[in-house]
Amino acid sequence: AAGVPILTSSRLTFESSKQIDTDVSKALSEGMGLYNLDTEKLLELRPDVILTQDICNVCSIDLAAVQRTAMKMDPRPTVVSLNPGGLEDVLSDVAVVGDAVGLGAQARKVQQQQ
């Protein structure tokens, strides 16, 4: 969405499929994440809720990095990790997000319309 800050970036450069595969495999075998989190910007924004996922360590920032940053914040935001495995899970997550942001009743109405 326009005007929404981007807080993550890849630690890898993308030159070829082989190079990406090699770099990802190496980083994962060394226990390193594939993404950077702009913790300074996140701390500055002071969110009430942080939405993330931990279904895929290759797809985005890892949950532990988000939780470590949230622990440094005062007030501490709620970290909501969404891990949908299918469409039904996505629809369930509407209520999870709604509850987290104080709009649970409205979220459930949206769910019922689907």
Nearest to 84 by CA among 75, 94, 76, 74: 94
Cα(60)–Cα(8) distance, rounded to whole angstroms? Answer: 8
How far is CA 108 from each of CA 5, 25, 42, 102, rounded to the nearest angstrom? Answer: 28, 41, 29, 12
pLDDT in tens, 49-99: 999 988 877 778 888 889 999 999 999 999 999 999 898 899 899 999 999
State the DSSP code for 4.
P
CA distance 17 to 29: 18
User: What pTM was estimated for this model as a whole?
Assistant: 0.81
pLDDT digits (tens, 9 = 90+) for 5-30: 889 888 888 888 898 889 888 988 88
